[in-house]
Amino acid sequence: MRNRLRGSALAAIAVVIFSGGLLSQTAGPQKKANAPEPDLNGVWRRSRRPPDKTRQYTLGDLTGSIGEIPTMTPWGEAKFKTTKPNGGPRAVPLAETNDPIYKCYPPGVPRIYTSRLGGPFEIIQTPGRVTMIYEYDHFVRQFYTDGRPHAEDLSPTWMGDSVGKWEGNTLVVDTVGFNDKTWLDNQGHPHSDAMHLVERIRRTSHDAMTDDITIDDPKAYTKPWVAHMIFELKPDWKLVEYVCEDFINFEGLQKTSETPK
- 248 in helix, strand or coil? coil
Q: Which residue has the higher pLDDT, 1 or 219?
A: 219
CB 141 within 8 A of CB 246: no
pLDDT of residue 26: 43
**Does an H or E element contain 161, and which?**
strand 161-167
| pLDDT tens per residue, range 158-211 | 999 999 999 999 999 999 999 999 999 999 999 999 999 999 999 999 999 999
**Does an H or E element contain 26, and which?**
helix 2-26
Of 48, 43, 77, the residue nearest 65 (C-alpha): 48
Of 48, 36, 58, 65, the residue nearest 208 (C-alpha): 48
Distance, in Å, from the CA atom of 182 to the CA atom of 196, rounded to the nearest integer, reads: 14
Whether residue 27 has pLDDT greater than 70: no
CB 241 within 8 A of CB 119: no
Span 100-108, mean pLDDT? Answer: 94
Distance, in Å, from the CA atom of 40 to the CA atom of 132, rounded to the nearest integer, reads: 10
Whether residue 226 has pLDDT greater than 70: yes
Strand partners, 124: 131
pLDDT of residue 92: 96
Q: Which residue has the higher pLDDT, 86 or 259?
A: 86
% residues pLDDT > 90 (the chain): 69
pLDDT of residue 116: 86
| pLDDT tens per residue, range 111-165 | 999 988 899 999 999 999 999 999 999 999 999 999 999 999 999 999 999 999 9
Q: Which residue has the higher pLDDT, 27 or 98?
A: 98
Q: How confident is the model at residue 88 (pLDDT cuts 50, 70, 90)?
A: confident
Q: In Å, what is the CA distance from 82 to each residue of 63, 76, 189?
A: 25, 10, 10
Whether residue 45 has pLDDT greater than 60: yes
pLDDT of residue 117: 86
Distance, in Å, from the CA atom of 220 to the CA atom of 80, rounded to the nearest integer, reads: 9
Distance, in Å, from the CA atom of 162 to the CA atom of 12, rounded to the nearest integer, reads: 58
Is 0.75 topped by the overall pTM?
yes
Mean pLDDT estimate for the chain? 86
Whether residue 259 has pLDDT greater than 50: no
Give the number of other Cβ atoms within 10 Å of residue 81's Cβ.
11
Whether residue 33 has pLDDT greater than 70: no
Q: In residues, how long is the chain?
A: 261
